[in-house]
Chains A and B, each alone.
Chain A
Amino acid sequence: MLTTGYQTIKNYHHHENHKSHHTHDRKTAAGGPEIESRGTRKIKVVRRVLDANDIMARKNRDFFKDQNVFVLNMMSSPGSGKTTTLEKTLAHIMPDIKSAVVVGDICTTNDADRLSKTGVPVVQINTDEFGGDCHLAAHVIEKSLQGLDFENIDLLIVENIGNLVCPAEFDIGEDARVVVLSVTEGEDKPAKYPLMFRVCDAVLLNKTDLLPYLDYDREAAIKYIQQVHPGMPVFEISARTEDGFEEWLDWLKESITAKLGR
């Protein structure tokens, strides 16, 4: 049945190429016995659904390499203290490391307003224009780069949408990924969102200044992180008091130097 069907298609294709016989062939194809045999043709595709994103991410990565810029993708759930961590981090590394920030939110420019006060160029992306997306995709990053002067940027930090699921799936062309996890969240977040903790290169365990007031089991949290991603560095910090920032900033500076050679 499948073969007969296929031949019908071939006939149809054939008359496309011989227009003078078009009417006759078409009649045969449409009116002949072949049309009675209905079949299904299986067509092998074997393509990644997110192919388009991967291609754009590669393009971004090449661009960042050309511009000699280190790109850090910061991810977390909402309310983990990502923006505060970023504000404090920028205050420490500027002006030695010339930085810029792309910040993604579904709505509002609140984060961009806060980050602008640090003096770095900030691009706000609101994904509601893109359908309220739960992550920043590579093409959205590409669009956001237009207003930035890469001559004067060594480090571009992308503050992704607050979400532990989707951003992990989308490569944006970054050099490193960090996830901010706060001690007001469950210890087992890494086990619940393994992909996020697999794709990241370091964890910032934030809000440690609150530990005396919580029943949080920090050893359990670290154990979960190490189960999902053995050997991944965990920096225990408080963005409020800047406790533990030294190790985190050293790691960041070393990562930048490793790429840029300075």
Chain B
Amino acid sequence: MHEMGVAMQIIEIATASIPEDMKGARVERINLKVGKLSAIVPDSLGFCFEIAAKETQLEGAELVIEEIPVTARCKDCDNEWTIDSPVFSCSRCQSGSIELLSGRELDIDSIEVKED
């Protein structure tokens, strides 16, 4: 629901990540990692990004979203597993004392800038 704000943050971070010697170059691709537990709808984000990127160095850039599964580790039996339904107890010993290893990402992994 806050995809527009997120799109604007992406543009800010991506623009700041363009190296000094490439200022003004066109960004062709932004590689994102989005955890399945994050409150982001990839389609909406893509739509908002397209609008927000207009008339910036990122206009027309492709937003590549890698969805990251929710994985956890049990603090009691050390079991590591992927959570694919909203049940957050250990798949082996049923303990509720768990630590999430992934699934909350909303990260810019890399950008690809056109060289000329």
Contact = CB atoms under 8 A, between A and B. Distances in A.
B2 A134 contact: yes
Contact of B110 (A39, A42, A190, A192): A42
Nearest to A4: B115
A42 B100 CA distance: 30
Interface stretch (A6-14, A172-180, A206-214, A235-243): A6-14
Interface residues of A, number: 48
B62 to A, nearest CB: 11
Interface in A149-201: 163, 165-166, 168-169, 190-192, 194-195, 198
Contact of B96 (A46, A48, A166, A230): A230
Contact of A49 (B9, B17, B18): B9
Interface in B6-21: 6, 9-10, 13-14, 17-21
B81 to A, nearest CB: 15
Nearest to B20: A13
Contacts of B100: 198
B8 to A, nearest CB: 9
A197 to B, nearest CB: 8
Contacts of A8: 115-116
B9 A43 contact: no
A32 to B, nearest CB: 12
A41 B109 contact: no
Contact of A166 (B1, B86, B116): B1
A45 B112 contact: no
Contacts of A2: 115
Contacts of B89: 227, 230
Contacts, number: 127
Nearest to A13: B21
Contact of B2 (A43, A135, A224): A135
B40 to A, nearest CB: 8
Main SS class of interface, B:
mixed
A35 B116 contact: yes
Contact of A43 (B95, B97, B113): B113
A198 B38 CA distance: 12
A137 B115 CA distance: 37
A110 interface: no
Interface in B82-116: 86-89, 95-98, 100, 104-116
A194 B9 CA distance: 25
A51 interface: yes
A218 B13 CA distance: 45
Contact of B108 (A45, A169, A195): A45
A49 B10 contact: yes
B64 to A, nearest CB: 12
12 contacts: A40-B29, A42-B110, A42-B111, A43-B19, A49-B9, A49-B13, A51-B13, A169-B106, A190-B86, A195-B37, A227-B86, A230-B89
Given A9-B22, A166-B39, A195-B39, 10 more contacts: A2-B115, A10-B21, A40-B28, A40-B114, A45-B110, A50-B9, A134-B1, A134-B2, A194-B37, A231-B97
Interface of A: 2, 5-6, 8-10, 12-13, 16, 35, 38-52, 131, 133-135, 137, 163, 165-166, 168-169, 190-192, 194-195, 198, 224, 226-231
